[in-house]
Structures are given as C-alpha cells and as structure tokens.
Amino acid sequence: MRLNQNTLLLGKKVVLVPYTSEHVPSRYHEWMKSEELQRLTASEPLTLEQEYAMQCSWQEDADSEECPPTSPSPECTFIVLDAEKWQAQPGATEESCMVGDVNLFLTDLEDLTLGEIEVMIAEPSCRGKGLGTEAVLAMLSYGVTTLGLTKFEAKIGQGNEPSIRMFQKLHFEQVATSSVFQEVTLRLTVSESEHQWLLEQTSHVEEKPYRDGSAEPC
C-alpha cells in the first residue's frame, strides 16, 4: 500500500487522486500510445496488461506476491483531474476529468530526503493553463510535509522547453546536462525560505480522504 492511497488533494485548477486500476483502461492507456508523449516523457509504450501490472506494483507493497513482476514504480503517484470540470459536473467520473499525472520517485536509497519529480499534462487542450504548475506545487508540498523530502530533481528532455521553463519558475536550477540521454537535470533544495514560499503557494490546497473513488466534487 502506498502512502497516498487514501489521499485526495484539492486545488483551484487540479484535483490529485491516487492511481487506481480504474484509471488504467481509460485515457491513461490511450495517452501513452502517443508518440509525442513518449518522446516528451522518455517512455516506452506498454500493453494494457503491462499498465495493470505497473498500477498493481504501485498500489501494493513492494514484496507483495499478488502483483506480476514489473519495473520499479513511483513511490507516489497522483492522477491529475481538471478541477473545474470535476466540480462543475455533479457525478462526473474521474475518467472524464483526467488530464495527466504527477509522480515522485525515491531514486537514491542512501538519501531518502531526495525525490525525483515528474509531471505530464497529456490532454493538449489543458496545456499552458497552469494545471501542471499547480500539480507540481501540490506534489512538492506533499513531498515535504508528508514524505519528509528536502531536495527535488526533475529530469527533462532537452527539447521540452515548456516543462523546463515551468520548473525554473518554481525555483528549480539546472545542475546537469546529459548529451547521451538528451536531458537536463534541474534541482530544488528546500531551504527554510523556500519552504515558506512553497507553503504560501499551496495554502489553498486541501487534503481530503479518498476511498476508491468515493470522494465527491464539492
């Protein structure tokens, strides 16, 4: 079981909900067939069975025998919903409001205060509207307050200028470039002043209980 399995984060533009098996056969699987998204996220296309295995490995404990073997999954994953659409339509399904996802990986077992963050706004019509920014801010705040993280890294393809600019606006600084992987690494160290800034930026975000999709729009 993952720490955020029963957590919903409600912002002004996005709602973050845990990644469940119900999200797999919907837009998520269709999104990842896009060659553009594969290029921007450095991802390989997965079969539906592989997507289910990935979701299962995220939801269950790492040593669970219930899930088939798969590659390492994120420590923390939220599906990003369009908050305006989710709240404006009573009874709207999460599937109909899905726009992307945001992830945190603990990649350095010797430094559990470091998290690698990534975000994907897969719906083209939802890009450039601040949804990715709010999703990242909410995840950063969650990482600091709940997971105890104090450092974050983002690895972004060199050609993904919008994502690079977004992270730079969130105080990330470029620390490395890989010509082999054609990506840049940006880092944020959460000092006391950065923590205060982060709290101010996310003061409107509400944490609510989530139980298998039972959370209702406000």
pLDDT digits (tens, 9 = 90+) for 149-192: 999 999 999 989 999 999 999 999 999 999 998 999 999 999 99
Of these ranges, 2-16, 43-57, 69-83, the one predicted with the greatest mean pLDDT is 2-16
pLDDT of residue 22: 74
Give the global pTM: 0.81
User: Residues 90-99: what's their mean pLDDT?
Assistant: 88
Mean pLDDT of 10-21: 93
Listing DSSP states for 51-118 in one string gives HHHHHHHHHS-TT-SSSPP-S---SEEEEEEEHHHHHHSTT--HHHHEEEEEEEE---TT-TTEEEEE
Q: Quick count: other Cβ atoms within 10 Å of Cβ 66?
A: 9
